[in-house]
Structure 1
Amino acid sequence: MLGALAVAALAVTAAPTAAGAAADPAGVLHLTVTGTDGSPAGGNVAVTAADSSYDKDLLPLDESGQLSVEVPAGDYKIAITPVYSDGQDDEVLRQWVPGRTSWAQAGTVRVSAGDTTEVSERLVTPSGSTLRARDAVTGAAVDGVCVFLDPRRNPCGDTRVTVPPLIPGPQEVWVYTRDDTHLPRYATVNVLADGSGTAVVVLTPAANVVSRVVDAVTGAPVAGACVTPAPAGTGELPANPGRYCSDASGNVRVGLVAAGSWNLFARPAGGSAYGAQWVGATGGTGDVKQARMVTLRAGQTVTVPPIRLDRAGVVTGTVTSAATGKPATSGTVTLAPETGDFPDWGVELDAQGRYRIDWLGPYGWPLLFTTADNAPQWSGGFALRGKAVPVTVRAGATTVYDLAARRGVLVTGRLVDPEGRPVVAELTVRNARTREVIGRTADRDGEYALRVLGPQPVTVAWLWTPPFVSYAGWYDGAARPADATEVTLPGTGTLRLDVAVDRYPAG
């Protein structure tokens, strides 16, 4: 099971310190909450240690708006979340004691051992505000601006939008445009109690790529083929591959692209006779190094030549462990590293270690094999994409490619907070030269284990997400990637690497 964690989607678990913390000297926190009119309030309460070492949430207020809870002695932050009429938490109107809008703004309440700490809080009346947006390039007002708070509160306006009522104070909202003319972003709105709060948000014009998807032989239009931009030269593919797809005439417009250099990946609809491709200069390719580079400026629309789709082939095979000869019983075969529960860019292995991908174009494809109890590795058994042995797919035919996966180096260690307590955190291991991801894992109890291929120099990034706040950094004690300590993985054996996280705000 521990090996599976090293290669599976990152786990989400409760804070490991919460279970045992009640054995520490404790006190009682007694909270009384009234509504905006002074009557007893309803809702759920979260009580979280200021150092993130302990938390309890979903604590309901009783009919008198009160709550008593025993917690270890220490300093705490308290959040009160009203509920909708259907009983669901209304997180948009979450209030932090005393009357604040966020974890960062919240005060602290000290609970002493053997004592009862009384806290009274009155819910603040929510207030509206106004938001406008201006173009980062021209300075002109942006039309069709929208604000997303949650699916129930998602208003749009013309050159200004009225933000639904929020607790007064600084509030972070998601701002986008109705017609996707500008790149969306988070922005802070200073909500005032009298409703006069305003904000002007600078939005960067989105770039667009326009093309036409056609049959490579006949030139006939192909509908339903989705085109995804990827950072040039990286081979990294995002989630949600089906956002921008060709219409019945083969026309496709890829929007909401940031300025920069991009490659395009085209993937036909499920069940299509056509195969996916990296869009090359004159045709498709399976090698991102041969893909066409499209360079965009903010707000620019670039037309690229027609995307010419070839017929698909099939690649199939069985993945076994080189150490045991037994089939890999879980894992994926993909075109790029993925973090979700299900692969967007590949397939899962079955219980016999078999896989089948039937939607690739007839080119040479580097394939990434991520399995339990073995290191992630590219076809040929290599750690890096650039060294992979491409698997040749032939149109209308089946290619068999089996892999005996190498176990790699077992890296283990503790994950602790600045006070030395175990934490739940996620680790991402990258090659120090190419920045490629070569391994990911999440721990459950302050101990982690993952397998990666060596020898190679790596950096280790961590993400620590206790309730209501996120921290990120790099081994060893670095807040920036440029300051990360390089670690040299051996070619075989094991490596012990204890990682101490810190309270560096996640970017």
Structure 2
Amino acid sequence: MIKAMGAALVAVVALAVPAAAQEMPGFEMSFVDGTTGAPVENVCLGMVDESDRGVVEPQLMVQCSDSSGKVRNYYTNRHRFYVWSKDGSYGSHWVGPHGPTGVFARAKWFEAKDRVTRVTVTMGAPGEIAGIVTDSTTGAPVAGLCPMPTPAGKGFGGFPGVTCSNDAGEYKISGLAAADWVVQFADFTGKYAWEWSGNAPNRLAASTVRVRSGATTALGAKLQPAGQITGKLVNVPDRGQYTSIDVVNRWTGDFASPRPVKDSTTLTYSVTGLNTQLVEISYVAMGTPRYEYPEPVRVTAGRTTPDIDLVFPPQS
């Protein structure tokens, strides 16, 4: 283990070994302390497959290491791994090919088909990101904004280390590994346009932020008013009661907004929280396939894009 300026360099070792006769294929994760090499207990594993759009859901059932520092499961498809310490004493991160990374796109894909794939992750000391979120038009602080160190889902259910902004607009993301990160500022109320670090409209344009162990890195955000899409639900079963609508960035596949709002009386919907970008829209109702809106939709922060009707073929 090498240390430079107090920042732990985190090593990742992955070994694919033939499964023994009594072993089922899957992943065996081992977490070790970067200074002592000792097993680390209570490190939790978020497994993100290719359909998850980079969304880590720590509020769902996850596996955390026991006193041996290990986690064992039986998943066999491709995953990227996000790991975090329950008490924040070690730095959360995506598992990269050569160590920790805070950038989802740089995380390594791991796969276990007919083997037990053993992965050793060395955990280092954490740092944090903090700053102030303001309204770009008025300069007023924005309260209740919960920045995300991973791509956001359509709702916020709590995330390790995230302290949402207070009345002064002050937020904090603690317990992060020493690495480059991108941060998403996702307003789940739909008032402001979702953006990424550097006031970028999508993850590919985001500025990286360097986190160092034991230090606080400053990062502010100036939020623009949200763009909006509106339209009708045509031929929708059950008056849209069980309809789900996904709006994602055309180039990254990240969710671009919080959950759309549906009105079963008027059979209309609206999507808020949109930044300037191209989005793709898909939708599904109870008992139907998932349908795609026929072309990408151009949206602009602060403006409404109307008449984007979601049409369900007549159901037999």
Supply the distance in 2 between the matched residues of 1:315 and 1:395 (Cα, whole angstroms).
11
Supply the distance in 2 between the matched residues of 1:475 and 1:283 (Cα, whole angstroms).
38
| 1:277 maps to 2:90 | no
How much does 1:237 deviate?
2.0
Amino acid at match of 1:278: W
Secondary structure of 2:257's counterpart equals strand
| Alignment partner of 1:494 out of 304, 308, 315 | 304
Distance 1:288 1:443, change over 3 A: closer
Contact 2:102 2:179 in 1 (8 A): yes
Distance 1:433 1:289, change over 3 A: closer
Secondary structure of 2:64's counterpart equals coil
Contact 1:241 1:344 in 2 (8 A): no
| Alignment partner of 1:339 out of 154, 158, 168 | 154
Supply the distance in 1 between the matched residues of 2:47 and 2:284 (Cα, whole angstroms).
26
Contact 1:381 1:406 in 2 (8 A): no
Q: How many residues align?
A: 283
Distance 1:485 1:360, change over 3 A: same
Equivalence map 1:74-473=2 (5 Å) = 207-231=25-49, 235-240=54-59, 243-253=62-72, 255-259=73-77, 261-270=78-87, 272-297=88-113, 299-304=114-119, 306-334=120-148, 335-344=150-159, 346-371=162-187, 372=189, 373-408=191-226, 410-418=227-235, 423=240, 425-445=243-263, 446-454=268-276, 456-464=277-285, 469-471=286-288, 473=290
Supply the distance in 2 between the matched residues of 1:240 and 1:314 (Cα, whole angstroms).
21
Distance 1:417 1:267, change over 3 A: same
Question: What percent identity do the matched residue pairs reach?
Answer: 22
- Asked which structure has the greater CA Rg, the reply is 1
| 1:405-433 Cα deviation digits (max 9, x unpaired) | 1225x224233332899745543211223
Supply the distance in 2 between the matched residues of 1:489 and 1:448 (Cα, whole angstroms).
13
How much does 1:252 deviate?
2.2
Distance 1:329 1:229, change over 3 A: same
Secondary structure of 1:438's counterpart equals coil
How much does 1:437 deviate?
1.6
Distance 1:420 1:289, change over 3 A: closer
Supply the distance in 2 between the matched residues of 1:440 and 1:340 (Cα, whole angstroms).
6
Aligned-residue Cα RMSD (Å) equals 3.0
Amino acid at match of 1:435: G
Contact 1:475 1:499 in 2 (8 A): no
Aligned residue number for residue 485 of structure 1:
295
Larger relative contact order, structure 1 or 2 (CA cutoff 8 Å, min sep 6): 2
| 1:111-149 Cα deviation digits (max 9, x unpaired) | xxxxxxxxxxxxxxxxxxxxxxxxxxxxxxxxxxxxxxx
How much does 1:384 deviate?
2.0
Distance 1:361 1:322, change over 3 A: same
- Specify every segment of 5 or more residues in structure 2 that has no aligned partner in the other structure, as ranges: 1-22
Supply the distance in 1 between the matched residues of 2:61 and 2:205 (Cα, whole angstroms).
29
| 1:7-57 Cα deviation digits (max 9, x unpaired) | xxxxxxxxxxxxxxxxxxxxxxxxxxxxxxxxxxxxxxxxxxxxxxxxxxx
Secondary structure of 2:105's counterpart equals helix
Q: Structure 1-normalised TM-score?
A: 0.50
How much does 1:376 deviate?
1.1
* Runs of at least 4 residues off by over 6 Å: 419-422
Q: Structure 2-normalised TM-score?
A: 0.78
Distance 1:374 1:474, change over 3 A: farther
Secondary structure of 1:461's counterpart equals strand
Secondary structure of 2:204's counterpart equals helix
Distance 1:217 1:451, change over 3 A: same
Amino acid at match of 1:326: A
Supply the distance in 2 between the matched residues of 1:392 and 1:314 (Cα, whole angstroms).
10
Distance 1:472 1:332, change over 3 A: farther
Supply the distance in 1 between the matched residues of 2:28 and 2:173 (Cα, whole angstroms).
28
